[in-house]
Structure formats: C-alpha cells, structure tokens
Structure 1
Amino acid sequence: CSFFWILSNLTKFKFTVLNIYENNFLSWILDVEIHLKAMNLGETIKEENNVFLQDRIKAMIFIHYHLYKGLKIEYLKIKGLLVLWQNLKERYDHQKFIILSEARYDWLHLRLQDFKSVSEYNSAPFKITS
C-alpha cells in the first residue's frame, strides 16, 4: 500500500475525529487501532517496535487526520508518533475507569430493580443452589 494511496483514501475511513470534550476516546482509540492494523501499521503505536520511519509517518498522518482541529493545534509540536499516542492516552485514558464505574453502578441498580428488597436480592443466589 503506497503512501499516496493512503492519503487519497483517508476520507474512506469513516469514524469520528477525537474531540476535545473527551467523550469519544474509547470508540476513537478502538477505531484507530483497527484501521492501523488493517493498513499494516498496527505495530507503529507499540513500544519498542522495529517499524520503518515511512510507516510511522503514515500512521502519524492518519492519527492527525482524525483529531479535532483544536487537538491538532495543541499537539502540533509533537514529532514522535509514540509520544503523541502516549500523550493522548494519558489525557483521555481515565475515561475507561469512569465509564466502567458507571456501567457497574448501572448494572447493580438494574439488577436490584428486579427485587422488592435488598435481602430478597441477596437470598436469590441461595435459592438457585438449593
């Protein structure tokens, strides 16, 4: 896959840009990882890789293309792909904890709604085993 092919076909990769408001990082990072792997550039964002400079540049262009304009400006001076990747992860990775915590809370309360009381909820597993 040539460099110019990637540039000419960037618009075909339909996923939202990483916005500055921190509400789409988890889906964005998954999309980026999948697309980089599909373009045989998945190793470029891993520590201690032996990837050619040209491939790192392709991945950097791809990631920059899918950043919100304000983020592009903020991270403009970062030249290294791994540095950019780590900075984005440090900035947004806390979302995993927040979203998982909210999901656990919602799941627990959803499950409790099936019972009239907490004691009925707590005794339900014992009824299953007996």
Structure 2
Amino acid sequence: MSNLSKLEFVALDISKKNYQLWFLDAEIHLAAKGLGNTITQGNEASSQDKAKAMIFLRHHLDEGLKVEYLAVKVPLDLWTGLKERYDHLKATVLPRARYEWMHLRLQDFKTQQYHERGFKKYPELISCLLVAEQHNTLLLKNHEARSTGSAPLPEANMAARRSSNKNDDNAEANLALNDDDFQGLDDLTHLEVEDFSGDQN
C-alpha cells in the first residue's frame, strides 16, 4: 500500500543519489518538530519522542531501506546506520563535483551564439544546452547504426516491383465483365499491365 500522507521532503533513495539533501532536510525537520535530540549521542529523549522520530525517519525512507532497517527500533541507531552507509559519498562525490565546478566551461556553445540568443536567465541557457546535447546523442546513435559510407538499404518496393515484372510480361487485366453494358465503351475498359507500371511512351 502506498503512503497516503504527504512527505515533507523527498524520501531517501536506495541508490544513494540524494543522501546529502535528505540528511540535511531530515535534520532540519527533526529540529523543527522538537525531536532533534533523538539523533544525538547520549540523548535523554523520552520514548514517545523517540517513537515520533522513528516514525518520521522511516516515513522518509525508500521501501528497500525500510525493509533493510526493519529491526532497528531506536532513531539514533537508524541515523548512525544510514550515516555509515552513505557518508563515504562525501569522500568520493564531493572532490569530483569540485573538480567539475572549477573546470566548468561552455565547450560546445560559442559566445557569439550566446550573445545572439540573449539569455537573461541561467535556466534558459541550461535548457538550450540540454536540448543540444540530446540532439548530439541522437545523431551519434544514428551514425553508429548506419555510419557514413555504408551501403544504402535496398528499396523494398523496388525489389517487389522488379520480381513482379519478370513473371507478368504477358499478363492482362480486364476489369469489366462480358455482360456489363457500358454503352459502347467496352474497349476503353480493357487495360494492360503496362498501363499501370510501365513507361507510358
């Protein structure tokens, strides 16, 4: 059954993508609810406050994490368990993010194009760059599927037409029945195959 009550912030994803944001949001919300001391060492929180904090934390976890930490009953234990599991991301993700930020440049977007477009807001520039990147990805996929210089695909209709012309050299088509009365126009209804597919010279 899905959670019917609204989340105050995004639940912690099991794929580790949003741990830093979740950690900060959870800490702030617990402090705002007066439950911030339940996740600190040597706390003197009441069992009722611990239960409220546990409900709050579990409510903002991914279903897989809820199952994994099913036996944990104390909010401090859950908090430290999640911290041990995800805190190493600071050592792995943060240096890479700092490096990318320090070496940020607009590689594929010329300054003249930037000034011509007259971007007033950063999100407009980003959306334009994302569209350009998607187009580039699509072009690369198409190039990998049918690279330049490869033989063209055979025309399907052309092959079928050639094979039918070989067998039907003497074929005739007469769409009028003998007893139909077309007021003397019987000769006009007699059609040859060449009338449809051959050159009309």
Bin of the TM-score, shorter chain as denominator length: 0.7 to 0.9
Q: Alignment partner for residue 86 of structure 2, among 77, 92, 98? A: 92
1:19 & 1:96 partners in 2: Cα distance?
A: 16
The reply to whether residue 80 of structure 1 matches residue 82 of structure 2 is no
1:42 counterpart (36, 45, 62): 36
Describe how 1:12-31 pairs up with structure 2 within 5 A: 12-31=6-25
Alpha-carbon separation, structure 2, partners of 1:96 and 1:33: 17
Report the alpha carbon displacement of residue 50 of structure 1 after superposing the two structures with TM.
Answer: 1.0
What are the equivalent positions in structure 2 for 1:45-60 lying under 5 Å apart? Answer: 45-60=39-54
For 1:75, the aligned partner's letter is: Y
Bigger share in helix = 1
Could you list the runs of 5+ residues in structure 1 that have no partner in the other structure?
Answer: 1-9, 114-130
Q: Cα offset for 1:95? A: 1.4
| Greater RCO, 1 or 2 (C-alpha within 8 Å, sep 6+) | 1
1:104, distance to aligned residue in structure 2 (A): 2.1
- Work out the CA distance in 2 between the residues paired with 1:39 and 1:13: 14
Shift of 1:103: 2.3
Take 2:73 and 2:62, find their aligned partners in 1: how far apart are those partners?
18
Instruction: State the one-letter code of the partner of 1:72.
Output: K
- The CA deviation at 1:42 is 0.6
Larger mean CA deviation between 53-62 and 75-84 belongs to 75-84
Does the residue aligned with 2:13 lie in a helix, a strand or coil?
coil
Task: Tell me by how many angstroms 1:106 deviates.
Answer: 1.4
CA distance in 2, matches of 1:110, 1:28: 26
In structure 2, C-alpha distance between the alignment counterparts of 1:86 and 1:23, rounded to whole Å: 18
CA deviations on 1:52-72 (whole Å, 9 max, x unpaired) are 111011000000000001110
Partners of 2:8 and 2:75 lie apart in 1 by 22
TM-score of the superposition, structure 1-length normalised?
A: 0.72
**Superposition RMSD on alpha carbons, in Å?**
1.9
Unpaired runs of 5+ in structure 2?
Answer: 108-201
Q: How many residues align?
A: 103
Identity of counterpart residues, as a percentage?
Answer: 53
SS of the residue corresponding to residue 26 of structure 1 reads helix
* TM-score normalised by L of structure 2: 0.48
Q: 1:13 to 1:37 in 2, by over 3 A?
A: farther
